[in-house]
Amino acid sequence: MQIVSENIDLTAALEPWRLAGQTVALVPTMGALHAGHMALIDAARSKADRVVATIFVNPRQFGDGEDLARYPRREREDAALLEAHCCDLLWRPTIEQIYPPGFATTVSVAGVSERWDGAARPGHFDGVATVVAKLFAAVRPDMALFGEKDFQQLAVIRRMEADLGLGIVIHGVETVRDGDGLALSSRNAYLSEDERRRAVALVKVLKQARASILEGAPVNGTLGEAKRQLRAEGFGRIDYLALVDAATLEPVDGPTAEMRLIAAATIGTTRLIDNIRVAEATV
The window from 4-12, 26-34, 175-183, 209-217 that contacts ligand PAF (CB under 6 A) reads: 26-34
Nearest approach, Cβ of 186 to ligand PAF (angstroms)?
8
Nearest approach, Cβ of 58 to ligand PAF (angstroms)?
4
Nearest to 66 by CA among 124, 152, 125, 116: 124
H helices present in 99-217, as ranges: 117-120, 124-139, 151-164, 193-199, 201-214
> Could you tell me if 264 and 273 are in contact, meaning their C-beta atoms sit under 8 angstroms apart?
yes
CA distances, 40 to each of 74, 152, 186 (Å): 18, 17, 14
* Residue 276 touches ligand PAF, criterion: CB under 6 A: no
- Residue closer to ligand PAF (CB basis): 60 or 227: 60
Nearest approach, Cβ of 228 to ligand PAF (angstroms)?
30
Give the Cα separation of 259 and 243 in Å (integer).
7
**Which residues neighbour 40 within 8 Å (Cβ) at sequence distance 6 or greater?**
27, 29, 145, 146, 147, 173
> Could you tell me if 19 and 68 are in contact, meaning their C-beta atoms sit under 8 angstroms apart?
no
Nearest approach, Cβ of 5 to ligand PAF (angstroms)?
17
Q: Is 37 a catalytic residue?
A: yes
Query: Would you give the binding string for ligand PAF spanning residues 148-177, x where CB under 6 A is met?
Result: --x--x------------------------
- Residue closer to ligand PAF (CB basis): 4 or 132: 132
Q: How many CA atoms lie within 13 A of 224 on its CB side?
A: 6
State the catalytic residue, choosing from 37, 85, 124, 171: 37
The window from 27-35, 86-94, 202-210, 259-267 that contacts ligand PAF (CB under 6 A) reads: 27-35
Could you say which of 25, 43, 51, 58 contacts ligand PAF (CB under 6 A)?
A: 58
Site for ligand PAF in 89-148 (CB under 6 A): 128, 131-132
Nearest approach, Cβ of 37 to ligand PAF (angstroms)?
8
The CA-to-CA distance between both ends of the chain, in Å, stands at 33
**List of residues contacting ligand PAF (CB under 6 A):** 28-30, 58, 61, 128, 131-132, 150, 153
